[in-house]
Chains A and B, each alone.
Chain A
């Protein structure tokens, strides 16, 4: 009876309690907000690592909230998939929280810093809760907690466009969440249970009824809107462009990934893979949509002037990769998907953090504003180049590993047409990143060579993410092993 058996609850409870402690304790000194959030996210990360180690040793952890036996009670489940995603997301959140101190000084008005950190912690609690829970209505509640906090956080951007972007995101996000609620209602109506494992037992007998198919349709549309799968991606470019830099990094690196995790849970744990492959062949539809997303995301990133818009459209393309891995639904492609969750969080997080450093120093986000920054901000631009190379998929970086596994998975499923899609989009990615790298290193020779880089509080987290990009490109065996176990649990069984 040690304290570690309660870790599944503590990983959510720490950010939640700190969200309410920050307004009380910050009456003394404003900076306590940052200290408390860094401490809470650090301990959440440690707890996640401990949970993953326990799962790798002993197998799945199941925590009964209130000691009520499922399916009557709410159950928190940590298995290979949730353990992996938990570690990835809590690491990214910890790194971005460390980075946030300097960036918040420049971008958020003075009187809003304390509520900012409080809502930030609520956002984190919602994300971590989405990953750990094993009850489908609890999933909806945490989706809404993180979404509402997300809308409020995006609206704190500097220009008034942030308000309209947040409002659009609110309307679309609420439609999506209400669709998810409807899907839950239909599932409950037919089976009488809300527990994911119990639903898995009871649903196969009902796969051919209209109610269950409608429930799946509502889930698909709702979750696709949340993860910004083409063509439901309209809210994403404006939301990422006008949000504060910390929030753009956080949303790009974590919020959509956890939405994809929820989609994997619904499609592979609640509904068996047999459902999406044979009974209602939605997998083909998702494959086509993801291919269109990959190409369209890379093409739309071309003509953009603002670098954050380039990164936002590029994110739409990368989500296409992850959904493609899910739609192929075999072991190799799911390994590719899960590793791409890790890699894209690292790469996109790193890129947005560098953009935040540029905003901190110069205040402009135009691509032309990057001219000559190779001399003025060499360290930040080095991190940018590493992350950009990883996005293209150069071997020895992390991006290559996930694209390799996705291509292998496509070949194994017989859909070899996906391999040229991956190659073409890598080429397009290389082209639009080359424009920026050209501006950084090969233009602006009239700028004097005085080094004026971002403060270390911003550089160290950025370099941590860039370093992990290279680390997981060379030593790819650790993520591949863990995701291999997760993929076997999802499709092999």
Chain B
């Protein structure tokens, strides 16, 4: 049981972070806090990918004469792409929030829903 928790600590960390981000996305009424939650949520998934790339006894996947074994470089490359996607999503979301602020005067979700009624 202890071995189950301690040996797989990377999965526990990523799940905790993911749930924190997910909760922030759903529960916080401020629109910017939702975006921060979204970033935490996506960063947790990136951590998961990188953590499964580690090979026992491997060094970073950069060419080095003294290296015996390299880590798996493919998840690193996938996460580079996913980080770009995450940055783009944050950029679009922030642009939307600026326009919402100009149109409604507030970025609290409950006040906006009231104004829309």
Q: Which residues of B contact A148 (CB under 8 A)?
A: 85, 88-89, 92
B41, B45, B81, B96: the one contacting A167 at CB < 8 Å is B96
Which residue of A155, A164, A171 is within 8 Å of B34 (Cβ)?
A171
B interface SS class? helix
Q: A189 touches which one: B45, B52, B93, B99 (CB < 8 A)?
A: B52
B25 / chain A contacts, CB cutoff of 8 Å: 171, 175
Check A137 for interface membership: any CB of B closer than 8 A. Answer: yes
A144 to B92, alpha carbons, bound, how many Å? 12
> Closest approach, in angstroms, between the C-beta of B109 and any C-beta of chain A?
9
Contact of B78 among A137, A152, A164 (CB under 8 A): A137
Q: Determine if B38 is an interface residue (Cβ-Cβ < 8 Å).
A: yes
* Chain A contacts with B in 147-189, Cβ cutoff 8 A: 148, 151-152, 155, 160-161, 163-164, 166-167, 170-171, 174-175, 177-178, 181-182, 185, 188-189
For the complex, count residues of B whose C-beta is within 8 A of A. 29
Which residues of B from 29 to 63 have beta carbons under 8 Å from A? 31, 34, 38, 41-42, 45, 48-49, 52
Residues of B within 8 A of A234 (CB): none
Q: Does B20 contact A (CB under 8 A)?
A: no
Q: Which of A161, A167, A170, A189 contacts B116 (CB 8 A)?
A: A161
User: Given the complex of chains A and B, what is the CA–CA distance between A127 and B49 in angstroms?
Assistant: 26
B19 at the interface (CB under 8 A from A): no
Partner of B41, one of A151, A178, A188: A178
Task: Report the bound CA distance from A151 to B88 in whole Å.
Answer: 12
- A-side binding surface: helix, strand, loop or mixed? helix
Q: Does A141 contact B (CB under 8 A)?
A: yes
**Total residues of chain A contacting the partner, CB 8 A:** 25
Q: Complex Cα distance A152/B89, Å?
A: 10
B31 to chain A, nearest CB (A): 7
Q: How far is the CA of A171 from the CA of B29 in the complex (A)?
A: 13
| A141-B81, A164-B112 known; A155+B89 contact, CB < 8 A | no
B 92-116 contacts with A by CB, 8 A: 92-93, 96-97, 99-100, 103-104, 112, 116
Cα–Cα, bound, A373→B16 (Å): 58
Do A151 and B81 have beta carbons less than 8 Å apart? Answer: no
Tell me if B52 and A151 are in contact (CB < 8 A). Answer: no
Q: Which A residues touch B116, using CB under 8 A? A: 161, 164
A interface footprint on B5-25 (CB within 8 Å = 1, 0 otherwise): 000000000000000001001
Which residues of chain A are within 8 angstroms of B31 by Cβ–Cβ distance? 167
Q: Is the CB of B99 within 8 A of A163?
A: yes
Min CB gap A159→B, angstroms: 9
Give A301 to B38 CA distance when docked, in angstroms.
32
Tell me the complex Cα distance, A164–B38, Å.
17
Q: Are B96 and A151 in contact (CB under 8 A)?
A: yes
Q: Can you list, as one digit per residue, whether each of A94-109 has a CB less than 8 Å from chain B (1) or not (0)?
A: 0000000000000000
Selected from A152, A163, A182, the residue in CB contact (under 8 A) with B103 is A163
Q: Given the complex, which residues of B lie within 8 Å of A167, measured CB to CB?
A: 31, 93, 96-97, 100
B95 CB, nearest partner CB in chain A, Å: 8
Residue of B whose beta carbon sits closest to that of A145:
B85
Within the complex, which residue of B45, B52, B103 is in contact with A178, where a contact is CB–CB below 8 Å?
B45
Provide the bound-state CA to CA distance between A144 and B74, in Å. 20
- For B52, the closest partner residue in chain A by CB is A189
Distance from B97 Cβ to chain A, minimum over Cβ atoms (Å)? 7
Q: A141-B85, A160-B104 given as contacts; is B45 within 8 A of A181 (CB)?
A: yes
B100 with A182: CB separation less than 8 A = no
Q: A144-B85, A148-B88, A185-B52 are in contact. Are A170 and B42 (CB under 8 A)?
A: no
Contacts beyond the supplied A144-B88, A164-B112, A166-B96: 10 A-B pairs with Cβ under 8 Å: A148-B89, A148-B92, A160-B100, A163-B100, A167-B97, A170-B89, A170-B93, A175-B25, A185-B48, A188-B52
The 10 A-B residue pairs whose C-beta atoms are closest, nearest first, are: A160-B103, A144-B85, A163-B100, A189-B52, A167-B96, A185-B49, A163-B99, A174-B89, A170-B93, A178-B42
13 cross-chain CB contacts under 8 A: A137-B78, A137-B81, A160-B100, A160-B103, A163-B103, A166-B96, A170-B93, A171-B25, A175-B41, A178-B45, A181-B82, A185-B52, A188-B52
